Chain A
Amino acid sequence: MLSIWKNGTPAHRRYVLRTWAFMVPYVLICVAMMTGAFEPIIDSPAGWILAVAVSAPVIGQIWATLSLMRESDEFVRALTAKQFIVAAGLAMAVAVFWGFGETLAGAPHIPTWLIYPLFWAIYGAVSPFIRATNA
């Protein structure tokens, strides 16, 4: 993220700012959830409001990524699309694998919301290896 800020285009810097704007509230809500701050509203209608609140930044982050592509040149646009597709495909493959593992092999249950941080972890891991748009 720091290298994108230092070496990137103005579109990249706007992307970094937007990412922070969406990720900070997402992480804060996740931390509050994991520390039990929302225990009183679990299993109540207010729980749905919290679910919407924590998933809204996910939509925002997708918008930030699409904005980066719209505001960038054709190379950055094609490269970002390729990295995004590979990361999304691998994240889906892991989720499907584990889902069938739970159903067929008694694997322990993992919350489905983990697919989002998993996707970005994979995105960060594969991006350094995807540097060409034509290979």
Chain B
Amino acid sequence: MKNRLKLLRVERGWTQEDLGRELGVSRQAVNALETEKHDPSLDLAYRIAVLFERPVEDIFENPHA
């Protein structure tokens, strides 16, 4: 799923490890999200949205829109 996660992470000066710690997931999971190898669950997508204080649609492109 296309997303702006890497951009948002870099804007905050975070490493994948840092973002993983904030979200409670592994660095591998962050990498898989950024490289579109994993589509997040609704729960994880909302956690990311809350962390970056943006709507989910601002971070993840809706593939059905």
CA distance A73 to B32 in the complex (A): 12
Which residue on chain B has the smallest CB distance to residue A11?
Answer: B26
Q: Is the interface of A mostly helix, strand, loop or mixed?
A: loop
Interface residues of B in 22-62 (CB under 8 A from A): 24-26, 28-29, 32-33, 36-41, 44
CA distance A9 to B20 in the complex (A): 11
Which residue on chain B has the smallest CB distance to residue A131?
Answer: B37
Indicate the size class of the contact surface on chain A.
Answer: 10 to 19
Which among B25, B28, B39 is the interface contact of A134 at CB below 8 angstroms?
A: B39
Which among A75, A132, A134 is the interface contact of B29 at CB below 8 angstroms?
A: A75
Subset of 9 A-B contacts with CB under 8 Å:
A9-B26, A72-B26, A73-B25, A74-B40, A74-B41, A75-B33, A76-B29, A78-B38, A134-B1
